Amino acid sequence: MEWTAELALDARADLGEGPLWDAAGSRLVWVDIMAGRVNAFAPATGRTQSWAAGEPVGAAALRASGGLLLALQSGFAALDEATGALTKLAGYEAATPEVRMNDGKCDPAGRFWAGTMAFDQRPGAGALYRLDPSGAVATVLTGVGISNGLDWAPGGQGMYYVDSPTARIDLFDYDAATGAISGRRPFVRIEEGAGWPDGLTVDAAGNVWVALWGGSAVRCYSPAGKLEGVVRVPALQSSSCAFGGEDLGDLYITSARTGLAEDVLAQNPANGGVFVVRTGARGRAPWKYSG
């Protein structure tokens, strides 16, 4: 099947990423990484909000205690939306000026996972980290190129993960009790010329929706790895996706303007926008950090 997404918010983001639905606020939360901005968009009213992180911010997550948890270049921090103040919670191994956070998400047990990449995208400079509810940070993977999308299969039976330069979505065995992952194997390989796998989300039926950077698309794969559908996105660099709305039936897609020439942007003015499409699929509410 094929669908076409429509522009929901003309955000003109430099590097829009990490969308997640906050049901309590009926809003989409997302980040503009290099601008260091955390953003919120309420589709029903059109209201937007934005907070400055003061440094590159790779991802945001909801906290069970309220508010947002951020994966910053320098580490993990809580955001007070009322004041904009940040409270540093933890650093991470190998935090340097050459490396930044790039994507992250909470798992079913309330742990926050976030990965890194080098600013110059050199191979193997990134890693994947896990912030446990205790506040301890574990290094889960090293030798990563561009740590990107991740999510969990229904019932926590596995974890999907993207290291973009591999052109794959990988699948790990996942231990919900300990947070350990093992048994890495390819789930889907993206063919040359289709774009690079970026952010992803898993719907309630277990299908995997992945944004293709440079591919102007989001693809849907069944739990068996079969291509089930394609969402066409009127932006060259679709970066991530998440289900939202009252029935979790709206697929929101972020995009980016970074690296695009002025003439390309003039011909494609929606680049950097947030898009939406209804495909008939339903998502799951995001898990919250329980620390």
Express each pLDDT in 241-285 by its tens digit: 999 999 999 999 999 999 999 999 998 899 999 999 999 999 999
Question: Which residue has 């740590």 as its token pair?
Answer: 147
Q: What is the DSSP-derived secondary structure letter of residue 24?
A: G
The reported pLDDT for the residue numbered 36 is: 98
Query: What distance in Å separates the CA atoms of residue 73 and residue 116, rounded to the nearest whole number?
Result: 8
Sign of CA dihedral 88, 93, 95, 101: negative
**Span 76-105, mean pLDDT?**
94
Active site residues: 198
Task: Answer yes or no: is pLDDT of 40 > 80.
Answer: yes
Domains for the chain: give ranges and CATH numbers: 2-278 (2.120.10.30)
Q: In Å, how far from its chain's centre is CA 41?
A: 16
Q: What is the structure's pLDDT at 164?
A: 98
Q: What is the mean pLDDT of the chain?
A: 97
Q: Are 144 and 117 in contact (CB under 8 A)?
A: yes
Q: How far apart are CA 76 and CA 137, in angstroms?
A: 10
